Amino acid sequence: MLKNYFKIAIAVLRRRKFFTFISLFGISFTLAILIVLTAFYDHLVSPAYPDHQRSRSLYLNSIELNHRKKQSHNQGPPSLYFMNKFVATLKTPEKVAISSIFGPTNTYVNNRKLVINVKYTNTAYWEVQEYDFLEGKPYSMQDLDAGSRVAVISRETKENYFGDAPTVVGRYINTNNEQFRVIGVVDNVPKTMLYSYADMYLPYTLSKTEMANKSYNSNFTAILLARSEKDLPAIQSEFAAMIQKVPLDSAQYDEIKGSVDSYVASFTRIFNGGGSSAAAVRRLIVYVSIFVFLFMLLPTINLVNINTSRIMERSSEIGVRKAFGASSGTLAIQFIVENLILTFLGGIIGVLLSWAVLSIVNGSRLIPNAHLGINFTVLGASVLACIVFGLLSGVFPAWRMSRMQVVTALKAN
């Protein structure tokens, strides 16, 4: 029966070429945009190089300081002092990676300005983040303690600064009028990965301003790696107990809030403050769902109108088939299946169109070092969108047709 439905659908589509073009254009254009947005969302939230261990990692990028009587409020990334004194001393995590948010520095190569984004880290950072070392190795604890002027640079920085030199380990690089000896080269990281991206990585002891900073707020983040996923709740409990005991200068603040969360929740917490991270993630999912629904609503309404017109033009066929005993349910299912076939044809075009758009985005370096692609997650979301899109736009016309009386259908021709 499905084979017959498919043949009828193809025949109808070929007979009404204008309606077919309008329908396919609307479906494919809408799905292409959804696929591109899904690919970008997947790029933002899915584990990727070098942050492969997200399933057993917790993240800290913000704490909140309040003075409830003065109604003063300060929220932002913790300082290196806070990280070393309170976070790195937790007992449950296997390792605690500490790093600063990348910051720009300027250098000049052959009269050309080159902006190098620098990140300061501890040594555990290289054990938690799994970088691909193209040359050399990371700095050691001895380098960190001694404040050695050593650097790990990205492949892009190597190419921009040293040109086509085959190896650069042992050579020197200058930025902001400071010189560092290159001891390692790692593969590039997309700029969208806050915890991982930089052009140059330095021991945090080289940050003079941060080493002298004894406040709790600055620009550092932490990744707490658990021995297994089962340890994650214990780490969160230990952190919650620790932060309650953090001493405060009562003249400035009388309350401190913070939590270690999953990767996505660590960003939603910035907008959720001290509330539940699970609630913030659910709220994000609801907002995204509402956006997708509204985005699909307008083309769906247009497609409903087109489908209704297309079906009503076949009123004589409907009347004849009903006169020979075809039930309303059978006809309704046929038109829904026809619409799903049309939607999947549009979906295939949409996938090809989105592949072309993603290729252009990747080639344009709109997001440096990022590669947006159509993986199984993105493709699964696209298939689901096709089904929802086809059902939403096909059910109402099919229902309306099923209620049509035989005499009315024959007269309408």
- Counting Cα atoms < 13 Å in the Cβ hemisphere of 377 gives 13
Q: What is the pLDDT of residue 410?
A: 63
161-167, long-range: CB within 8 Å, 24+ apart, which pairs? 161/107, 161/109, 161/114, 161/116, 167/135
Scored b (16 or more CB within 10 A) or e, 91-113 reads ebbebbbbbbbbeebebeeeeee
More confident residue, 353 or 382: 353
The span from the CA of 240 to the CA of 235, in Å, is 9
* pLDDT over 90, % of the chain: 45
Q: Assess whether pLDDT exceeds 60 at residue 412.
A: no
Q: What is the pLDDT of residue 4?
A: 73
Q: Which helix (H) or strand (E) holds 152?
A: strand 150-154
Instruction: Look at phi and psi of residue 226 and say left if phi exceeds 0, alpha if psi is from -120 to 50, else beta.
Output: beta
Q: How many CB atoms are closer than 10 A to CB 77?
A: 20
φ, ψ of residue 97 in degrees (nearest 5): -90, 125
Query: What is the rounded average pLDDT of the residues 113-118?
Result: 95
Residue pair 126/138 in contact by the 8 Å Cβ criterion? yes
Strand bridging mode 150-154 / 178-186: parallel
Q: How many helices (H) and strands (E) does the chain have?
A: 14, 13
Q: Give the pair of three-digit tokens for residue 190.
A: 């997309």
Query: What is the rounded average pLDDT of the residues 23-33?
Result: 82
Average per-residue pLDDT in the chain? 85
Q: Give the pair of three-digit tokens for residue 215.
A: 């406040």
H-helix segments, 365-375: none
Query: What is the rounded average pLDDT of the residues 333-347?
Result: 79
H-helix segments, 16-173: 17-45, 80-82, 125-128, 141-146, 155-162
Q: Assess whether pLDDT exceeds 80 at residue 391.
A: no
More confident residue, 122 or 348: 122
Q: What is the pLDDT of residues 213-245, one digit of tens each?
A: 999 999 999 999 999 999 999 999 999 999 999
Residue pair 224/96 in contact by the 8 Å Cβ criterion? yes
In the DSSP assignment, the letter for residue 78 is B
Q: What is the pLDDT of residue 23?
A: 77
The whole-model pTM stands at 0.81
Q: Give the pair of three-digit tokens for residue 181.
A: 């000896």
Residue pair 116/107 in contact by the 8 Å Cβ criterion? yes
Q: What is the pLDDT of residues 307-339, one digit of tens each?
A: 777 767 777 777 777 777 777 777 777 777 777
* pLDDT over 70, % of the chain: 92
Query: What is the rounded average pLDDT of the residues 266-295?
Result: 72
Going from N- to C-terminal start, the domains of the chain cover 1-47+282-411, 63-273
Q: What is the pLDDT of residue 223?
A: 97
